[in-house]
Amino acid sequence: MKRLGGILFVVALFGALFYYKKNQQNTNEIKESNKSPLSWKQTPEEISELCNQAKQLLLTQLESIANTPANGQNFDSTIKEFESVTSNFVFVTDPLTFHKYVSPDQKLRNAADECEKSVSKIFVDIFTRKDLYDVFSNIKELKPKLDKIDQKLLDETIDGYLRNGLALDDNKRKEFIKMNKRLVDLTAQFRTRLNEWKDPTKLTRAELEGMPEDFIKGLKKDGDHFILTLKYPHIYPFLQDAKDANARKKLMTKFLKRGGTKNRDLLQEAVQIRFDLAKLLGYPTHAAFKLSKKMAKNPETVQAFLTSVRAKLQQKGKQDIAELLKLKSKDIGKKASSLKPWERSYYANQLKKTKYQVDNQKIKEYFPLEKVLSGMFEIYQNMLGVKFVEIVDAPKWHNTVKAYAVMDQGSDDIRSYFYMDLFPRDGKYGHAAAFTLISGRTMKDGSYKKPVSAIVANFNAPVGDNPSLLLHSQVETLFHEFGHIMHQILTTASYASFSGTSVKRDFVEAPSQMLENWVWKKEGLAKISAHYKDGNPLPDDLVNKLLAAKNANIGIRYLRQLFYASFDMALYTRTTRERFDTSKLYRKLEKEITMIAGLEGTFPEASFGHVMSGYDAGYYGYLWSEVYAADMFTRFEKEGLFNPETGRAYRKWILEPGGTEDPFELITKFLGRMPNQTAFFESIGVAN
């Protein structure tokens, strides 16, 4: 999940005239007759100009709020107006900055990057303005009678200022602002270097032994050599299937050096700055600062959680490694005593093939992207009471992108929109994520701003007559990210600050993690699978084998997640600002927790975008959220996977409220009881 820090420019707003037609598959489409949700025709110069215009308008509006006479100061004229003008600003700038992550045009990406940095810095300025803080503090002192959500907006606005140093004296506040703006530059550089990173590998046909023909056919060539990029559709299948260990090591070495030593330096400086900022605010560490606003509340709770999970998984991890070492020993003809990083995925895949008779490359033939999408749409539509209708001929930033309108079942009124950008290309965001483009919120005239989101991924593109085929793990990723989309576009939150996925960060993954479960159920697989040649669904014997292999190497997999979370916490629980070797720390924890030594000479943290920004002191949230996700799924297991009443309850209690209520309370209301960890440990085959 990714939320942009600003706002989108909308040349064409909603209120467009559409008409329906039936396509050959008898599914609804909307043909654009006048306008579409967003326009993507900006030039680099226009992005810069529009970004600057939006900033100037915002500053004028904020000046008006700051100068509101005392007798005219009330909640509506100050706090609510502040929420409105900043939301309008983000509404204008988010589509502009989104170009940075998806545009095929380098100049557009550069202009969007500059806009994004400018937007981030203006928010640093806004939340360190004492004149605005004084006005808002005055409203709090008046103790107006507000409903629960308005009171939450008031409290969180004030808290936002305090967390940005407004209680500091002038000199310290200036220092705080300077460091925060430097942090904006560091994180922007880090992301840009990752998105633009290129270090292709040239391999011979012999080095590709073990790879399926459709993979090889999809590769570009340079003479007799085949070119592999470091994009996910190349790197992951190759590490799983290529028989040449040296070739796997070569590619993995490059993969773990993405971002270069420059990114490692940027991360180290960011860690130092965050420590300094936390100390200025009176917190012992950055983790203590960040966690004070999350479900976990403090680092001690997180450490206890990670320690508890690790204790339950360590023995399973040892058993998993021993099983893979047996395969390696058989493969190399002598007893193997250790597993190398470039061997982990390969032998895990061989285990699935030999022990469970699960061949990922064969199974993906049953998951052509179009079938997966249509089945996924059917599941989500029926469960959540909505329908998705493609907008044909909608303006797009790339010709492979698709746009959809969302309506409630039984209604032709459009409630939201989403885009799908699913194939890799140069300069594009390299992971899978759901971007909020427009946040849903109640407007001054009482209307509701229609949310707009985009799912961005990097699946295998179609090659010739062969469709895009997804690995089952990619199907799971698609369900996960589309779950984020549902969370964003089905929101009913009245304020943008609480809209969609604007929830506590250690809860944000839970709603979409819960929705992954359908790809692990026979009934769900029946809806999303069909062989790309004959249309037959995934056979029962393959379904049974796939499900039997679900928890294969579960110890290794979860210990790796624990390692990532522990590395993140180690970075941000440091009680000193002295510079340190992040690579040394990374390798130390990797070996201790996963029991598999890392690849010497690499620096994986240089491409660990989560800990650089967004999930800093928060990566544990993936595991933390998964506990709640597994528990929420128990209601579907009890009442039926496709029970519409259960689905509507999930929409009502989990997806629609956004950040208007505490996540623990929402989960409790949905379950009708207090949540617990039992379902999580049962789901991964580990005793609780």
CA quadruple 486, 490, 492, 496: dihedral positive or negative? positive
CA quadruple 220, 221, 226, 227: dihedral positive or negative? negative
User: What is d(CA 285, CA 271) in angstroms, rounded to the nearest whole number?
Assistant: 10
SS3 at position 600: coil
SS3 at position 75: coil
b (16+ CB within 10 A) / e for 611-629: bbbbbbbbbbbbbbbbbbb
Burial environment of residue 12 by CB neighbours within 10 A (0 to 12, 13 to 18, 19 or more): middle
Among 121, 86, 115, 85, smallest CA distance to 103 is for 115
Alpha-carbon separation of residue 259 from 181, 250, 256, 604 (angstroms): 21, 17, 9, 9
- Whether the CB-CB separation of 586 and 256 falls below 8 Å is answered with no
Q: In 103-244, where does DSSP find H-type helix?
A: 106-126, 130-142, 148-162, 170-196, 213-217, 232-241
User: What is d(CA 323, CA 319) in angstroms, rounded to the nearest whole number?
Assistant: 6
Burial environment of residue 534 by CB neighbours within 10 A (0 to 12, 13 to 18, 19 or more): exposed
For the packed helices 232-241 and 245-255, what is the interaxial angle rounded to 10 degrees?
Answer: 150
Tokens encoding 72: 């005219």
Residue with tokens 């037609």, as numbered in its chain:
21
User: What is d(CA 501, CA 660) in angstroms, rounded to the nearest whole number?
Assistant: 11
Coarse DSSP helix, strand, coil percentages of the chain, rounded to the nearest 5 percent = 55, 10, 35
- Whether the CB-CB separation of 470 and 538 falls below 8 Å is answered with no
114 in active site: no
SS3 at position 420: strand
**How many C-beta neighbours within 10 Å does residue 413 have?**
8
Name the catalytic one among 32, 390, 481, 656. 481
- Whether the CB-CB separation of 492 and 648 falls below 8 Å is answered with no
Cα–Cα–Cα angle for 476, 482, 485, rounded to 5 degrees: 155
CA 48 from centroid of its chain's CA atoms: 27
Q: Per-residue DSSP letters for 436-499?
A: EEE--EE-TTS-EEPPEEEEE--PPPPBTTBPPB--HHHHHHHHHHHHHHHHHHT---SSGGGS
Tokens encoding 364: 């993906």
* Active site positions, annotated: 481
